[in-house]
Chain A
Amino acid sequence: KQEVTQIPAALSVPEGENLVLNCSFTDSAIYNLQWFRQDPGKGLTSLLLIQSSQREQTSGRLNASLDKSSGRSTLYIAASQPGDSATYLCAVVQGGSEKLVFGKGTKLTVNP
């Protein structure tokens, strides 16, 4: 059974800091990995999708890496801003299914 873990559960940083969020998964036979952002009481916003054959994806100040063999992904946020404050979730999909298995998320607070 696939399990996804995100560390830390919460993170508070000053504005402008670069930071890394971690995601690990127990079964490396994944189809892809997706990072989401969730604002309080809202739905999920897709940030980055990494296919199993890829090593990283970049979008603006965000960079996500994937190491399938070690079962790890990281989300790097450069020059953090207060607007980045949200809960960040990673999720994996295994072959033959659209089912996303989620971690519990990292709650990020960026202080002005």
Chain B
Amino acid sequence: KAGVTQTPRYLIKTRGQQVTLSCSPISGHRSVSWYQQTPGQGLQFLFEYFSETQRNKGNFPGRFSGRQFSNSRSEMNVSTLELGDSALYLCASSSMGGLAGGPRYNEQFFGPGTRLTVL
């Protein structure tokens, strides 16, 4: 079974530009979450989508947005890039449909990440 895939793996942008990152979850997984990882702040939750609906949102400005498609693939967009947006962006998927109460219910699996550098 293929894991979580993210594209592109690396991106270099300049301030003021916008960027779109893509995440394909494990087949059958309907929940996709996004995280930003920086050396100073660690891993911070951006948002979570389930069945094309945003269910939770972290404390990030409106420049950060996302969406999920009917095939569960998800994209996140960052507009008007700032230097501080340089980070590793990680996406995670989980089944949320496994055997409730089972030992691996709601286990989350991460992709390799997209390294965004803003110059």
Contacts and interface: CB of A to CB of B under 8 A. Distances in A.
Interface of A: 31-32, 34, 36, 41-46, 49, 51, 53-54, 57, 89, 91, 93, 97-105
A41 B114 CA distance: 10
Contacts of B111: 43
B56 A34 contact: no
Interface stretch (B11-19, B43-51, B60-68): B43-51
Contact of B43 (A54, A57, A89, A97): A89
Nearest to B94: A98
Given A41-B115, A51-B101, A100 B107 contact: no
B30 to A, nearest CB: 10
Nearest to B107: A49
16 contacts: A31-B106, A43-B111, A46-B107, A51-B103, A51-B105, A91-B43, A97-B56, A98-B48, A98-B56, A98-B94, A98-B106, A99-B56, A100-B92, A100-B108, A102-B43, A105-B42
Contacts of A53: 101
What interface size band does chain B fall in? Answer: 20 to 34
A99 B33 contact: yes
A91 B94 CA distance: 14
A31 B101 CA distance: 10
Contacts of A100: 33, 35, 43, 45, 92, 108
User: Which residue, A89, A101, A102, has most C-beta atoms of chain B within 10 A?
Assistant: A102
B51 to A, nearest CB: 12
Interface in B25-56: 31, 33, 35, 42-43, 45, 48, 50, 55-56
A44 B111 CA distance: 7
A98 B108 contact: yes
A29 to B, nearest CB: 15
A44 B45 contact: no
B76 interface: no
A104 B42 CA distance: 6
A97 B33 CA distance: 10
Interface in B86-119: 88, 90, 92, 94, 96, 101, 103-113, 115
